[in-house]
Chain A
């Protein structure tokens, strides 16, 4: 796909950082406000899609590397399952950090409250793991589809030239 005009590239350079930060904000506050792992991951992946569209596929391949995304995706998935295994002292997926005083372990006040980020135990960790996996996974999907489109366009152009 061709790259877009200069105005689009300047605005993209300015704004993609803010989109990624906003996405991580949604991932991190998943246990208090609407959002969580998948929603935040999708927002971060949309920043990568914006980079891909505004710079074109050939230039974007230089700074969006598929192998790093694949490694991040596997790390996110493994972190999710390992955190689930750590609760195996009682049952699988047991929330062993909630109400315990350590990491993310403050007591939760039942009912309507202004929201304390340090609560809810295992949930923020799993949100981060899922968010990592989702943005890496959606990034890989978008990059591979762009690759496929490029390949078919080259084949069509080669046939039209013949």
Chain B
């Protein structure tokens, strides 16, 4: 029994088993729950890297549940697959690597950050369930399976946002808003899945992609799916839950929530590129995604400049950076039917958008972790009350400078690499979009200079006289993210050629997703 054949399911099943064992372990010893969760997430990260090496060298992997071999998709001469299966191609494993890294670092940071004594086992159990659901959303090849994992993610993240809700009322209000929004989003996704099932009698993404006819009902389903998944990803004008949810959650959970929002973004790309493959009117849908991106970029950054709460400011910046990803991939979608334009700038735009997903997870995670470190030592998130903290917290200051320079797009950090790809290719498509993107980047830099000045610079304040540096596990998590930011900034060519370009090609070559499962139909 070759265990490497079962890697796609072991990445999910081991954290799931650990999540169910943690309440039993928690009755014996409370501190062991955190260490156990961190070890299991580390094992998951190693397995994800092994699976990534296998996919990038061999090809997309399929894993079928409950069949006689992991690759048997069509049981006994039926025409369409009727089993639940995982189909991991280069784009899926790209998102899987982000999820694995972010969850592992979030668990390490939580070892020191969470100091409440009584709800600790449910915290780690929910963190593992959130990780499992994100992996499930990114690896699955079945539409209803995606819906189930989407609901698990929303429920686990709402419970984690309300983690401080026993003492304060604001996290519960933020969690309530997020639950109502997630609930409507998931129910509308189920409605669209019902439309697909009623028309074609299959639930598998590859099987629907091979028989889809783009009738009137399919157009309704496309509209519902794109708008509702953009609501879960935090695009304007459906972004109202994002500032509340990201600011009231504990800091490591906010980092994982950013990755969960990006999993919904991945779902938009999977639906538009692989599900409706050549029947789509790519110019119209591409322009709709570009408009979402432009609105998100601009409104996100203008609402961010005026904020006084540090995590709320960073949450608005998360909305703005999501706009960059939507802009890049939207330009790639709009020119998909035009081969010369695709070769000239379409592929580069998509590379920029998809590389920006990973860069954003890294530097936004680092910024949220530094905001969490400031909250841990000073007890406040208000920028007017903080000041002069660079004298006491030297490591946190350096990490904040790295994160702020990365988000503003300064070389040699990784934000510059992906933003340059987006600027150059979008300029050739339509110059006005690129100019708006550059103005948004300048406003991003302005707001982070404001945060740096008011939180870190200035004279030593008397009320912070006992503030020390944060504990070692938190510094370790922030240091790993900083190292990745600097490494991706110095060698972007390595990452784009080996990780991002196969992901973009697996989205653009639309028939490859179907033919992997149905064998050349």
Of B15-23, B33-41, B49-57, the one contacting chain A is B15-23
Q: Is the interface of A mostly helix, strand, loop or mixed?
A: helix
A85 neighbours in B (Cβ, 8 Å):
13, 17
Does B64 have its Cβ within 8 Å of any Cβ on chain A? Answer: yes
- What 1/0 flags go to B240-253 for Cβ under 8 Å of A? 00000000000000
Which residues of chain A come closer than 8 Å to B21, judged between CB atoms?
Answer: 74, 78
Tell me if B67 is interfacial: C-beta within 8 Å of chain A. Answer: yes
How far does the alpha carbon of A44 sit from the alpha carbon of B295 in the complex, in Å? 51
Q: Which of A26-34, A89-97, A102-110 contacts B (4 or more CB under 8 A)?
A: A89-97
A8 within 8 A of B: no
B77 within 8 A of A: no
Is A81 in contact with chain B by the CB < 8 A criterion? Answer: yes
Which residues of the other chain, A, contact B69 by a CB distance below 8 angstroms? 90-91
* Closest residue of A by beta carbon distance from B86: A92
**Whole-angstrom CA separation of A89 from B64 in the bound complex:** 13
B13 touches A84 (CB 8 A): yes
- Indicate whether A77 sits within 8 Å of B20 (C-beta atoms), given known contacts A88-B1, A92-B13: yes
- Those of B27-80 within 8 Å (CB) of chain A: 27, 63-70
Within 94-132 of A, Cβ neighbours of B (below 8 Å) are at 94-95
Q: Let me know if B6 is at the binding interface, CB within 8 A.
A: yes
Contact indicator B66/A89 (Cβ below 8 Å): no
Nearest CB on B from A63, distance (A):
21
CB contacts (< 8 Å) of A94 on chain B: these are 66-68
A70 on the interface (CB 8 Å rule)? yes
Verify A81–B23 contact, CB threshold 8 A. no
Given contacts A81-B13, A84-B13, A85-B13, contact A92 B6 (CB under 8 A): yes
Query: Considering only CB atoms and an 8 Å cut-off, how many residues of chain B contact the other chain?
Result: 19
- The yes or no answer to B9 lying at the interface (CB within 8 A) is yes
Q: Are A91 and B65 interface neighbours, CB within 8 A?
A: yes
Given known pairs A81-B16, A85-B13, the reply for A93 and B23 (CB within 8 Å) is: no
Bound together, the chains give a CA A67 to CA B64 distance in angstroms of 38
B44 to chain A, nearest CB (A): 15
> Is A71 among interface residues, defined by CB-CB distance under 8 A?
yes
Contact of A91 among B16, B23, B64 (CB under 8 A): B64
Contact present for A89 and B1 (CB under 8 Å): yes
Min CB distance, A75 to chain B, in Å?
A: 8
Chain B residues with CB below 8 A from A84, complex form: 13
Q: Which residues of A sit under 8 angstroms from B67, Cβ to Cβ?
A: 90-91, 94
**Minimum distance in angstroms from B421 CB to a CB of chain A:** 39
Residues of A contacting B461 in the complex (Cβ-Cβ under 8 angstroms): none
Q: Say yes or no for B495: interface residue by CB 8 A criterion.
A: no
Nearest CB of B to A112, in Å? 22
With A88-B6, A92-B6, A92-B9 as known contacts, state yes or no: A78 contacts B65, CB within 8 Å.
no
The distance in angstroms between the C-alpha atoms of A95 and B83, with both chains bound, is 13
**B438 CB within 8 Å of chain A:** no
Taken together as a complex, chains A and B put the C-alpha atoms of A94 and B84 apart, in Å, by 12
Q: Please, how many angstroms separate the alpha-carbon atoms of A116 and B12 in the complex?
A: 35
Is B24 among interface residues, defined by CB-CB distance under 8 A? Answer: yes
**Residue numbers in B under 8 Å from A89 (CB-CB):** 1
Give min CB distance, B376 to chain A, whole Å: 29
Q: How far is the CA of A78 from the CA of B25 in the complex (A)?
A: 12
In whole angstroms, how far apart are the Cα atoms of A91 and B66 in the complex?
6
How many Å lie between the Cα of A74 and that of B21 in the bound state? 7
Task: Assess A78 versus B1: contact at CB under 8 Å? Given A88-B6, A92-B6, A95-B66.
Answer: no
- Of the listed residues A67, A71, A81, A95, the one surrounded by the most CB atoms of chain B closer than 10 A to its CB is A81
1-16 of chain B: CB within 8 A of chain A: 1, 6, 9, 13, 16
Q: Which residues of A contact B66 (CB under 8 A)?
A: 87, 91-95
Interface centre among A70, A82, A92, A93 (most CB of B within 10 A): A92
Q: Which residue of A lies closest to B1 (CB)?
A: A89
Task: Specify which chain A residues have a CB less than 8 angstroms from the CB of B16 in the assembled complex.
Answer: 81
Give the Cβ gap from B172 to chain A, nearest Cβ, in Å: 12
Q: Among A78, A91, A93, A95, which residue has its beta carbon within 8 angstroms of that of B20?
A: A78
Which B-chain residue is minimally distant from A87 (CB atoms)?
B66
Select from chain B the residue with minimum beta-carbon distance to A122. B66
> How distant is the Cα of A78 from the Cα of B69 in the complex, in angstroms?
25
8 contacts between A and B (CB under 8 A): A74-B24, A78-B20, A81-B16, A84-B13, A87-B66, A88-B1, A90-B67, A91-B9
- Closest 6 pairs (CB-CB, A-B): A77-B20, A92-B9, A74-B23, A93-B66, A93-B65, A81-B17
Extra inter-chain contacts (6) besides given A70-B23, A71-B24, A74-B21, CB under 8 Å: A74-B20, A77-B20, A78-B17, A78-B20, A88-B1, A91-B9
